[in-house]
C-alpha cells in the first residue's frame, strides 16, 4: 500500500486490546471516584458565595481565595479530562455522552460561580496587591495574579462589565451562524471518481483535491466554491459583523486597535506580527519557485489553484508497526538526551499514554491532552502503512512531553503554557524525525517523500498562515479606518493576496477569492499567526539542538519545563530564539530554500 492509504476495518471499542488503550486509572480508579469528585465540586460551588465581596479584604482573604481556586480548579480539570477522554474514545456510547454532559455543566457552573473573583482582585490598589504578593505564602500564586493585574487598564466598572457579559451572548453569533450555515445547511452534492461517487463535504474537500485525476480536482473545486458563491453576501456580512465586534470590544476596553487586544494576553508586540509578514514577503520568490517545480512535475503549462495539494511523490511502500514507529521516533529524538527519550518511550508504550488505533465511535485525527494531574494523554488513529502517522505520533508526543515537564516543574496556577509555545514543542519533534529519516533514507523516493512533506508543512504553516494573518490585518485596518466592508472589497483584498503569494505560474478562477470567506479561523481573530511563528521557532531550535552544544539542548529542555511561568516571548528567549527579531523567521525561510534545492535535485 502507498504511504497514505487508509485502512478499512474498524473494530468496536469493546474489542480493542487493553494495551492499545490509554490508562485512565491515573485520573480515577473507577466511576465512583469520578462521581465523588463531581460532588466535591458541587459542594465547593455552594461554598464560593461566602467569598463574594471579600476576595481582597486582606492578604489573608486573598490567599484563602486563590488557594480555594487552585484546589478546586485541579479537581474540576480532572473531572473534565476523564469525561472528555472517554467520550473521545467512543462518542457513540450513551454513558460517555452522559458523563460529558455532566462535566460540561459542572465546568459552566464553576466558571460562573467564580466570575466575581478576578474583578474583585483588580479593584484593589496595585501597590497593595504587589506588597501582598511579596509574602512567601503567595509564591505559588504570584505569577497568576500578576498576569491578572496586566489587564487592569482594560477592565471596566461593575455595571459596564455586566453589560459586556450580557453582550457576550450575542458576540459569538456571527461565528455560530457561519458554522451552522457552512457545516449544516450547505449541500455540496457528490463527486464521481474512479472509486465511485464520493460525497463532497468540508471534510472530503481536501481529500478530493489530492486525487490524481485533474478533472476530479477541477470538478471538486468548482462545485465546492459554487455553493459559497451562492451565499457570498451572507458570508461577507457575517465576517463584517465579526470584525466590527472585535473593534467594538477593543474600543470599549481601551485598546488602540483590535490586533493589540488579541496580542495583549501573550504580551506580544505588534512588531512581531509585522516582522513575520515582512520576512515572508521577502521569501515569496522561493514560494513561487516551489509552485513552478510543482507545475513542471505535474506536466502542466499553468498550475491551477486546485492543483496545489495533489501529492508529488507517490507510491512509497513503507510500513511501521506502532512499536517500530516508537523506535524510530526515539532514535530521532536522541539529541534531547536519555531522560527525555526514556520518559517518552515509556509514555508511548508501557505507561499507556496513548489510545493507539481507530475504533467505532472514536474521534478522528489526533490530539494530546495533558492536565496537571494524570498523564499527558494522546489520541491516535494510527495506521502502520501511513508514514504521516509516524510524524503525527512524534508531533503529539512533543505536546505531551511539554505537558509532562510543565506539570512537574510549576505550581498548578502557572503550569499551563500558551498555544504560541505549544506548536514549538510539537513541530520541533517533527523536525528531528524528518532529519533522522532523511539520513537513513534507503532510496531517492523515500528521501523525496520526506523532503516533500517538510516543504508542504512550511508552505501550509508558514506561508499560508501568514497570508491568512495578513488578510485579517488588512480587513481589520479597513474597518478601523471607517472604510465600508462589502463582498467585493473582501474578495478584492483576498484575490490580491492570492496572486502575491502564489505568483505568476498559478491561475485562479473567478470564484477562487471566495476562499477568504470560508475559513473558520478568521472568526477567532489574530490567532493563525501563531502557527507561522511556531514552526519558525521550531526549525531554529531544532537546528540548534541537532548541531549545537549540550547547553543548547539544556536551554530547550528548560523551555519545556517553564510551563506558564513566563510570557511566550520570554520562554522562547530562554530556549535560545528571540521572536522579537525577524531572524528566526528569516532562518526558517532560508531552510525552506535549502529543502527546495535538495528536493529539486532528486525529482527534476
Same domain, residue pair 134 and 270: no
Same domain, residue pair 265 and 140: no
Is 260 among the domain residues? Answer: yes
Q: Which residue, 155, 182, 204, sits at the end of a domain? A: 155
Looking at 77, 120, 358, 396, which residue is catalytic?
A: 396
Is 173 among the domain residues? Answer: no
Nine-digit cell at 418? 500558551
pLDDT for 5? 44
Which tens digit of pLDDT belongs to each residue from 289-319?
999 999 999 999 999 999 999 999 876 778 9
Q: Quote the number of domains for the chain.
A: 2
Contacts with 327 (C-beta within 8 Å, 6 or more apart), sequence order: none
CA-wise closest residue to 359 among 552, 90, 145, 63: 90
Is 433 among the domain residues? Answer: yes
Same domain, residue pair 148 and 270: no
pLDDT for 8? 56
Where the chain has pLDDT below 50, the residues are: 1-7
Same domain, residue pair 593 and 444: yes
Q: What are phi and psi of 386, to 5 degrees?
A: -115, 100
- The CATH number that applies at residue 139 is 1.20.140.70
Is 186 among the domain residues? Answer: no
Same domain, residue pair 120 and 260: no
Q: Which residues form the domain of 304?
A: 255-313+417-604
CA-wise closest residue to 96 among 180, 14, 183: 14
- 60 is annotated as an active-site residue: no
pLDDT for 416? 96
pLDDT for 1? 35
pLDDT for 501? 99
Is 405 among the domain residues? Answer: no
pLDDT for 2? 41
Per DSSP, the residues of 532-573 read HHHHHHHHHHHHHHHHS-HHHHHHHHHHHHTTTSS-HHHHHH
Is 185 among the domain residues? Answer: no
CB 169 within 8 A of CB 93: no
Is 283 among the domain residues? Answer: yes
Beta strands in 305-409 (DSSP E): 354-355, 367-369, 377-379
pLDDT for 315? 66
Spatial distance between the Cα atoms of 144 and 141, rounded to a whole number of angstroms = 5
pLDDT for 7? 45
Q: Which residue, 122, 155, 188, sits at the end of a domain? A: 155
Same domain, residue pair 149 and 288: no
Same domain, residue pair 266 and 139: no
Q: Which residue, 120, 139, 155, sits at the end of a domain? A: 155
Is 557 among the domain residues? Answer: yes
Spatial distance between the Cα atoms of 281 and 167, rounded to a whole number of angstroms = 39
Same domain, residue pair 135 and 265: no
- The CATH number that applies at residue 492 is 1.10.1370.20
Amino acid at each position: 500500500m502507498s504511504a497514505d492509504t487508509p485502512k478499512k476495518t474498524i473494530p468496536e471499542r469493546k474489542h480493542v486490546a487493553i494495551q492499545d488503550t490509554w490508562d485512565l486509572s491515573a485520573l480515577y480508579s473507577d466511576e465512583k471516584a469520578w462521581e465523588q469528585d463531581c460532588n466535591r465540586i458541587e459542594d465547593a460551588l455552594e461554598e464560593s458565595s461566602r467569598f463574594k465581596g471579600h476576595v481582597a479584604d486582606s492578604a489573608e482573604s486573598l490567599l484563602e481565595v486563590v488557594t480555594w481556586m487552585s484546589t478546586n480548579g485541579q479537581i474540576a480539570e480532572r473531572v473534565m479530562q476523564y469525561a472528555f477522554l472517554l467520550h473521545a474514545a467512543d462518542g457513540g456510547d450513551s454513558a460517555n455522552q452522559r458523563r460529558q454532559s455532566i462535566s460540561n455543566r459542572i465546568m459552566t457552573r464553576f466558571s460562573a460561580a467564580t466570575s466575581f473573583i478576578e474583578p474583585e482582585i483588580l479593584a484593589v490598589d496595585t501597590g497593595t496587591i504587589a506588597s501582598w504578593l511579596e509574602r512567601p505564602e503567595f509564591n505559588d500564586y504570584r505569577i497568576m495574579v500578576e498576569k491578572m493585574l496586566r489587564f487592569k487598564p482594560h477592565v471596566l466598572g461593575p455595571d459596564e462589565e455586566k453589560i459586556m457579559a450580557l453582550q457576550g451572548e450575542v458576540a459569538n453569533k456571527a461565528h455560530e451562524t457561519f458554522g451552522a450555515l457552512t457545516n449544516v445547511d450547505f449541500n455540496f452534492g457528490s463527486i464521481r471518481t474512479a472509486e465511485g461517487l464520493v460525497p463532497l463535504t468540508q471534510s472530503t474537500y481536501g481529500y478530493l483535491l489530492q486525487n490524481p485525476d485533474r478533472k476530479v480536482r477541477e470538478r471538486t473545486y468548482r462545485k465546492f466554491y459554487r455553493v459559497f458563491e451562492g451565499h457570498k453576501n451572507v458570508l461577507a456580512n457575517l465576517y463584517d459583523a465579526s470584525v466590527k465586534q472585535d473593534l467594538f470590544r477593543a474600543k470599549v476596553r481601551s485598546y488602540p486597535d483590535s490586533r493589540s487586544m488579541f496580542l495583549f494576553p501573550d504580551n506580544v508586540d505588534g512588531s512581531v506580527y509585522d516582522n513575520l509578514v515582512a520576512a515572508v514577503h521577502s521569501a515569496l520568490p522561493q514560494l513561487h519557485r516551489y509552485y513552478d517545480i510543482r507545475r513542471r512535475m505535474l506536466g502542466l503549462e499553468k498550475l491551477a489553484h486546485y492543483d496545489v495539494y495533489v501529492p508529488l511523490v507517490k507510491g512509497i511502500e513503507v510500513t511501521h508497526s506502532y512499536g517500530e514507529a516508537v523506535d524510530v521516533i526515539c532514535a530521532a529524538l536522541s539529541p534531547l538526551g536519555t531522560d527525555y527519550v526514556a520518559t517518552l518511550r515509556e509514555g508511548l508504550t508501557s505507561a499507556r499514554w496513548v489510545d493507539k488505533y481507530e475504533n467505532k465511535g472514536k474521534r478522528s485525527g489526533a490530539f494530546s491532552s495533558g492536565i496537571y494531574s494524570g498523564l499527558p494523554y494522546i489520541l491516535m488513529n494510527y495506521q502502520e502503512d501511513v508514514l504521516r502517522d509516524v510524524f503525527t505520533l512524534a508531533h503529539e508526543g512533543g505536546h505531551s512531553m511539554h505537558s509532562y515537564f510543565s506539570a512537574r516543574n510549576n505550581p498548578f496556577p502557572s503550569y499551563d503554557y500558551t498555544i504560541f509555545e505549544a506548536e514549538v514543542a510539537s513541530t520541533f519533534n517533527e523536525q528531528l524525525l524528518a532529519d533522522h529519516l532523511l539520513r537513513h533514507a534507503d532510496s531517492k523516493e523515500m528521501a523525496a517523500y520526506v523532503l516533500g512533506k517538510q516543504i508542504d508543512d512550511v508552505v501550509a504553516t508558514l506561508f499560508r498562515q501568514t497570508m491568512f494573518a495578513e488578510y485579517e490585518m488588512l480587513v481589520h485596518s479597513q474597518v478601523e479606518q471607517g472604510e465600508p466592508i462589502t463582498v467585493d472589497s473582501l474578495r478584492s483584498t483576498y484575490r490580491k493576496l492570492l496572486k502575491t503569494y502564489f505568483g505568476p505560474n498559478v491561475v485562479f478562477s473567478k470564484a477562487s477569492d471566495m476562499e477568504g470567506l470560508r475559513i473558520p479561523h478568521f472568526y477567532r481573530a489574530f490567532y493563525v499567526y501563531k502557527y507561522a511563528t511556531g514552526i519558525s521557532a521550531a526549525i531554529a531550535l531544532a537546528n540548534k539542538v541537532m548541531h549545537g552544544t549540550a547547553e543548547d539542548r539544556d536551554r530547550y529542555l528548560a523551555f519545556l519545563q517553564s510551563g506558564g511561568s513566563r510570557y511566550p516571548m520570554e520562554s522562547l528567549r530562554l530556549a535560545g530564539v528571540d521572536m522579537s527579531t525577524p531572524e528566526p523567521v528569516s532562518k526558517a525561510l532560508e531552510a525552506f530554500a535549502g529543502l527546495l534545492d535538495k528536493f529539486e535535485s532528486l525529482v527534476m
